[in-house]
Structures are given as C-alpha cells and as structure tokens.
Amino acid sequence: MSAQVLQSSVLVLNKSFSPVNVTTARKAFCLLCKSIAQVVDLQDGQMGLHNLESWQELSEFRRESGLASDESEWVSTVTHEFEVPRIIRLLFYDRFRRCHANFNRRNIFARDNNRCQYCGQKFPTSELSIDHVVPVSQGGTSCWENVVCACTECNKEKGGRRPKEAGMELIRRPFAPKRDPIIKLKLRRKKYYSWRHFLDDAYWSVPLE
C-alpha cells in the first residue's frame, strides 16, 4: 500500500450524516474493518452506503469496467483492491462537532493560504514562518488575532518590532477562522467535491451548544 495514499483525507459523518471531523484513509479503513463505519458514496446525485465487503466489490467492478474516476486513489491487499473512500459515516456516533479550528502551525498557514501577510507573496510551507504581530517581548500573545504567516525575509526585516515600527503593513488583519482552514483548502480540489454535499457555511460557522 502506498503510504501517501493512506494519508489521504476522508470526511467523517456521524450517524445523522452531520460532519464530525476529517481523518486519514488509514484510519477510515480501520473503522470499516471494525464494522463501526460505512462508506458514503455519491455518484450522479445518488447516495450509496457500503460496508467493507460491498465497497470492495464495487471498487473492483469500477476498476475492471473503467468506471472509476480519474481522481480515484487505490490501496491493494494480497487478494483485493479498494478505492479510497472520500466520506464515511459512523454507525453508532450521534454527537456533533464543535465548530472551532485548532490553533496550530498548519492551520495558520492554511488560513493565510501560504501567503506572507507582509509582502503578499505565496511560498512553500518550508519557506514560511509564524510571526507575532505584536512581539512577545512587547506583551503579544500566541493567539489567532496576533499571529500571521510570514516569509523568511519579511520576518527577518520586521524583527522584534511591531509592523508600524518596522515600516511594514499587514495585507490583512489576522482573525480566528470560523471553521477548519484545511477544510476550505480541500474543497477547492476536485477529488473532495463530494464533501460539499455535507458541508455548508451555516453548519461550520455556527457554534453548537
């Protein structure tokens, strides 16, 4: 099995078909093997639900008949091939997701779309850093509203100063995202279009009590 394919993202729904989180294909297959989840397959506006066995049969039929999507990804065992599902549904879980984004480096880069918030250019993640708008040395804190994505050169130029002190301006004021920024990025990719059936701004923007 390809390690990269097994890290592909899979949307997880609760038993009421509401979004819960996003997991990896590896974890999704584990849930299917334990019979505590089923595949949700959307084709031409129709929804099919499958356990691991029926999903394996459908996967092989699509592969052999040439009906598989160009965006399909595959994992193989000794005897079978499986298409990587894009959505699974938990059979015994009925809780809802609390709508907030985890405060971490990955989500900060995703919120800012890998764009330096000072020069406005996009960079690979390896060439970006996290900058405190109000430096920690001046009382700044590590929170959504005080950190931005910055390229190495801009971060070096700004140093331990506020933007105004360094003669720099933010292209956008930092903010706390209302939903996971990674979700927004993935929805732009064709292979995750099926997620849109279960994701909408109203759901991800309104906190649930």
| Phi, psi (rounded to 5 degrees) for 197 | -65, -25
Residue pLDDT, tens place only, 8-61: 999 999 999 988 888 999 999 999 999 999 999 998 878 999 999 999 999 999
Q: Are residues 20 and 48 in the same domain?
A: yes
Report the distance separating Cα 177 and Cα 112, nearest Å.
Answer: 10
At 203, the pLDDT band (50, 70, 90 cuts) reads very low
In a domain, 164, yes or no: no
Residue 96: the pLDDT is 65
Q: Are 133 and 148 contacting, i.e. CB atoms less than 8 angstroms apart? A: yes
Enclosing domain of residue 77:
5-98+183-205
- Using the predicted structure, report yes or no on whether residue 201 has a pLDDT greater than 90: no
State whether 9 and 37 are in the same domain. Answer: yes
In a domain, 168, yes or no: no
pLDDT at 183: 78
Residues 128 and 188 in one domain: no
> 191 and 147 in one domain?
no
CA dihedral 128, 130, 131, 137 (to 10 degrees): -140
Cα distance between residue 134 and residue 123, in whole Å: 23
Q: What percent of the chain has pLDDT over 90?
A: 60
Whether 191 is covered by a domain: the verdict is yes
Residues 98, 104, 108, 110, CA torsion sign? negative
CA 126/CA 120 separation, integer angstroms:
17
Residue 175 lies in a domain: no
pTM of the model: 0.64
Residue 89 sits in the same domain as residue 111: no
Q: What mean pLDDT comes out for the span 62-85?
A: 89
Say whether both 81 and 151 belong to one domain.
no
Domains in the chain: how many in total? Answer: 2
Average pLDDT over residues 150-163: 96
Residues 89 and 191 reside in one and the same domain: yes
Q: Do 82 and 24 have their domain in common?
A: yes
